[in-house]
Structure 1
Amino acid sequence: MVESGFEHSEAFLQWIWENLLFDFTDLKTTSGQNILILNPGKRNTSDGADFRQASLEIEGLTWHGDIELHTKSSNWRLHAHHSDPNFNSVVLHVVADFNSEPVTTQNGSQPYTLNLLPYLSKKLHVFLRNFEEHTSELPCASSFNFISEEAFYLQIEQAHQEYFEKKTNDFLKFYNPNLLPSAAWRRALIITLWDGLGIPHNREAMRNTAERVLRQWNGKHTKEGTKLALEIAGFGHPNTDITWNHKSLRPANHPQKRIVQAIQLSAAILQEPFDQFLSKGALTIWDRWFGTEQLIQTSRFEILYGTVFLPALFLLGNLFASNALKTASLSAWKELKTPIPDSLLKKFRSFDLQDKRYRKKLGSIHQLKSYCKPARCSECFVLKKAIQS
């Protein structure tokens, strides 16, 4: 064990304090006073203490001021804080040290000292070690073999809701307010679906093709639309500025095949009476489209139903003040079960989960992309539950 008792960097200690990743229910200063954290403060990126504008209650008295953190309490003097007026407003010195010692400021005050070491879970130490050493694809996977399925699914449900909100915002990027609402909504729905059919390598190319097709085609004749789209895309007509990426594409993802499918779906959208989108049966329209010989419900289209069609209907409910449509589309999203390719969720394999329903929850994709990949671990119920258990 290292001298400080905390085997990790001071930056990690700051992260732990900022996110309250410790047992803060019965904190005491090194001299025995009770501490209640009212506000851990705001991270300071300038000179002076690590956190500003903190609020604490110590033995019933409220303190407002700065917080300084060190892995070893001796670093206070080593870093010359005792002679630096920038640290005169420190009300609490937080350390993770076996042998914490009192400190003084330049103006002669003596901030309280809180030794966090006894309040840090062993599980947190294991997590941090894995995080630093990258011993697993997810830092929590190998550490928390006792992982709480309840906490995991609480997090997945949160991610699932956030993903819906993200997809509604993505849809708005293609909504042109200069058009009539019905026309703007249909156009946005079509372009968003083309975008989804371009995943992973040809999203921009598919969007560009869709936008140009819609300027020249009214959706009445599928064969004409297909011919026009392939010409615009440059297949058989090389005079185009649209660039396609064919590298590592599976046959089903070839742009020519996706364009044919996109045109068929676009025709269905353009030919659908608009009042049907606002009706009670709006959610069943998708299944009706895919009940024809022209459109086959593949796994890609099952995902697009959730990530494009349902958010589009939710926004349509907003546009036309239909709470019933908003409620129905949001409820459908919450209950949605969509088979997700195992390759997208392989990082969850190391979790020993009895309940495998995350494999059909689109929020699982958002969890990996928006929480796990950028290491937003402090915001995740999985880490918090494991540390507090």
Structure 2
Amino acid sequence: MDEQFLHYIWKYQKFDQNKLKLTEGQSLMVYYPGNHNQDSGPDFEEARIKIDAIEWAGQVEIHINSSDWNHHNHQHDPAYENVILHVVWNYDSEIHLNDEAIPTLELKSIIDPGLIEKYQKHIRSNQEILCSSQLPGVSPLTIRGMLDRVLVERLEEKASRILNDLQYRKNDWEEATYRALSANFGFSTNKEAFIRLTELLPFSKLKKAFQNEKSTEALLFGQAGFLNEAKDEYQDSLKSEFQFLQKKFQLPESMVKPQWKFGKLRPANFPTVRLAQLATTLHNTPKLFTILTQTESIKELKEHLRPPLSPYWRAHYDFGKERERTTRQVGKSSFENILINTVAPLLAAYSKYTADSIFMDRAVELLESLPAENNRITRKWGEIDVNTKTAIDSQAFIQLFKSYCQKRKCLQCNIGVEILNR
């Protein structure tokens, strides 16, 4: 038995509501089970019940065993002083609140065993997407409603990370944008290394070199630890430039090359290539935050986020290693990835910061205008004939998979609830 299932039982009143009795014999009538609280505090708020002849309004707390109340230290938490009903699977101990026994409803004798069996069979499936075989029978409105919900959740989660970082940057939006964009250029493999680089090379110092593309490259590659040797003349010139700028800006000790991952990456995704692309982008778009939040045209964003690479990096993928064919700019899929994972969250964060919904609307419109992502998770949905057409779809299905399917939170998902309610 788990509390998630008990929350579902109480929320949807999945038991015979006639002649309900509390553990001490009082009659119970439920007018409204309450609003499900997903934050800290009691599990349901604003519930309305009647015990014998007296009506009560307040909070409901749910546990597997009644003794869990004390094990969770609720007896010392003022947030639980307005609990009017304790709903438990197993009543193993009388619990007191303000020197009086808390009214308690035990569930194990009033729930249909068939429902328990159905839930356990569903949750113990070895499929990654538990509802995969039953999804075709789910109402399209239910699916669409859940996708809209998780899309908002995903945007708000990403926005919150930017806003949390913003607090540490003294509300410097340019600094926060630089950090978010840099992390994106690392993608999944080198994300942490790029974050570390932005700690050692803050935007406030890097921007002083933006007028000169070579100086921008020298600072990024030098602080990243790629200029401790010189395999060719260009690397040697960057090294000399970095040594001068490192002293001028009083930069801390740089990273070391082993902190960056090259293994199993195609040359186009090498961290050296990504650093060169970042350097070119920053050089061409010094006022990064302003451009990304005020530019509504994808064509204009492309001009800022896909500028031509410097001549050296058009022909190289690492120092001293030439490409088989030249390349001019950030690839199309990488550009779309930046729009999805940096620009849209940035707009959502600024929307929350300014309390202006227009930026959230623009974030959604941006995702709607982009094609769906093609990655491991979206391919899993494709295997069960779920099609993703735009980035709105792919972002929603990624969130659904990571936050609900993988965590087996079927009873907090509208799709899972509909399946279990059949």
TM-score w.r.t. the length of structure 2 is 0.64
Tell me, what secondary structure is at the counterpart of 2:373? coil
Give the C-alpha shift of residue 41 in structure 1.
Answer: 10
Work out which of the residue numbers 55, 61, 82 in structure 2 matches 1:62: 55
Q: Distance in 2 between matches of 1:307 and 1:273?
A: 15
Tell me, what secondary structure is at the counterpart of 1:140? coil
Give the C-alpha shift of residue 194 in structure 1.
Answer: 0.8
* Residue 329 (str. 1) matches residue 362 (str. 2): yes
Aligned residue type for 2:190: N
Give the C-alpha shift of residue 116 in structure 1.
Answer: 2.4
Partner residue in 1 for 2:105? 92
* Residue 164 (str. 1) matches residue 155 (str. 2): yes
Equivalences, count:
334
Note the alpha carbon deviations across 1:188-228, whole angstroms, 9 max, x for none: 21221110121213222112324544424431122332233
Partner residue in 2 for 1:46? none
Give the C-alpha shift of residue 34 in structure 1.
Answer: 8.7
Partner residue in 1 for 2:19? 29
* Residue 234 (str. 1) matches residue 233 (str. 2): no
Aligned residue type for 2:389: R
Name structure 1 gaps, 5 residues minimum.
1-8, 44-49, 71-75, 97-114
Tell me, what secondary structure is at the counterpart of 1:92? strand
> What pairs with 1:31-180 in structure 2 (closer than 5 Å)?
35-39=29-33, 55-57=48-50, 62=55, 64-70=84-90, 89-96=102-109, 115-117=110-112, 125-132=117-124, 134-175=125-166
Q: Distance in 2 between matches of 1:27 and 1:356?
A: 42
Partner residue in 2 for 1:299? 333
Tell me, what secondary structure is at the counterpart of 1:375? coil
Q: Distance in 1 between matches of 2:86 and 2:349?
A: 45
Residues 134-143 or 290-299, more deviating? 290-299
Partner residue in 1 for 2:8? 16
Aligned residue type for 2:265: L
> What pairs with 1:238-257 in structure 2 (closer than 5 Å)?
240-242=254-256, 243-257=259-273
Work out which of the residue numbers 397, 408, 422 in structure 2 matches 1:364: 397
* Structure 1 vs Structure 2 CA RMSD: 4.1
Q: Distance in 1 between matches of 2:340 and 2:377?
A: 16
> What pairs with 1:174-213 in structure 2 (closer than 5 Å)?
174-175=165-166, 184-213=172-201
1:38/1:56 contact within 8 Å kept: yes
Give the C-alpha shift of residue 187 in structure 1.
Answer: 2.3
Identity of aligned residues (%): 16
Name structure 2 gaps, 5 residues minimum.
22-26, 38-42, 57-83, 230-252, 310-328
Give the C-alpha shift of residue 278 in structure 1.
Answer: 6.6
Q: 1:12 and 1:305, CA in 2 relative to 1: closer, same or farther beyond 3 A?
A: closer
Q: 1:36 and 1:173, CA in 2 relative to 1: closer, same or farther beyond 3 A?
A: closer
Q: Distance in 1 between matches of 2:357 and 2:46?
A: 45
Partner residue in 2 for 1:381? 414
Note the alpha carbon deviations across 1:97-130, whole angstroms, 9 max, x for none: xxxxxxxxxxxxxxxxxx2218x75xx7444313
Give the C-alpha shift of residue 154 in structure 1.
Answer: 1.5
2:371/2:390 contact within 8 Å kept: no
Aligned residue type for 1:306: I
Q: 1:351 and 1:30, CA in 2 relative to 1: closer, same or farther beyond 3 A?
A: farther
Q: Distance in 2 between matches of 1:224 and 1:199?
A: 24
